[in-house]
Chains A and B, each alone.
Chain A
Amino acid sequence: QQQVKQSPQSLIVQKGGISIINCAYENTAFDYFPWYQQFPGKGPALLIAIRPDVSEKKEGRFTISFNKSAKQFSLHIMDSQPGDSATYFCASGTSNDYKLSFGAGTTVTVRA
């Protein structure tokens, strides 16, 4: 039973374009929504995270949009660069629980 559903599975974007990845969760107890970035041959690394008390968080070219009523959140990569080519995972969890539930991942390819 996958608690976090992520789409698309993969996407290709031109350099300078916008990449958008969407996630939907089921558990209304979730209160922490991170995005992890994984390069080939490396472990995932935290990119950006949001809590449900805000609807948007921006760090550089990366923005999380959060819709609590729809139980959805998304990652926007603005001005995509070839160095952004990686697999992105959304995740969800609760602050008083140890477990993070990960989405299936989205492979982003940025063409120069």
Chain B
Amino acid sequence: DTAVSQTPKYLVTQMGNDKSIKCEQNLGHDTMYWYKQDSKKFLKIMFSYNNKELIINETVPNRFSPKSPDKAHLNLHINSLELGDSAVYFCASSQGGGAGDTQYFGPGTRLTVL
């Protein structure tokens, strides 16, 4: 019973391509997040959705577009991929909206842009 799942686990692609990463949570949580972890393991929030509404949009290039079709899903689409986009992308979810709620992370998607 995977709580937060992501597909694919690995993604290797060429510069300039468009790709998507999918995330699903079966915890019944209201809030979902996308994080980027760079090669130095620094973890930075990109987006957060609460009940399908965008509530956090950090300084992220507009090539990145999240989409939440329903509370259980949050997908990340990336246009015109660049070398600097290579990282591990984590999806997470939490019950409510406060930072005091435990965030449950998915296994990550390692994106490599060649």
Contact = CB atoms under 8 A, between A and B. Distances in A.
Interface of A: 31-32, 34, 38, 41-46, 49, 51, 87, 89, 92-100, 102, 104-105, 107
B111 to A, nearest CB: 15
A43 B4 contact: yes
B105 A102 contact: no
Interface residues of B, number: 25
Interface string B38-73: 001111110010100001100000000000000000
A95 B105 CA distance: 19
B38 to A, nearest CB: 10
B28 to A, nearest CB: 18
Interface centre among A43, A93, A99, A102 (most CB of B within 10 A): A43
Nearest to B99: A93
Interface in B86-114: 90, 92, 97-100, 102-108
A32 B99 contact: yes
B107 A98 contact: no
A98 B55 contact: yes
A43 B25 CA distance: 14
Contacts of A94: 98-99
A87 B41 contact: yes
Nearest to B106: A43
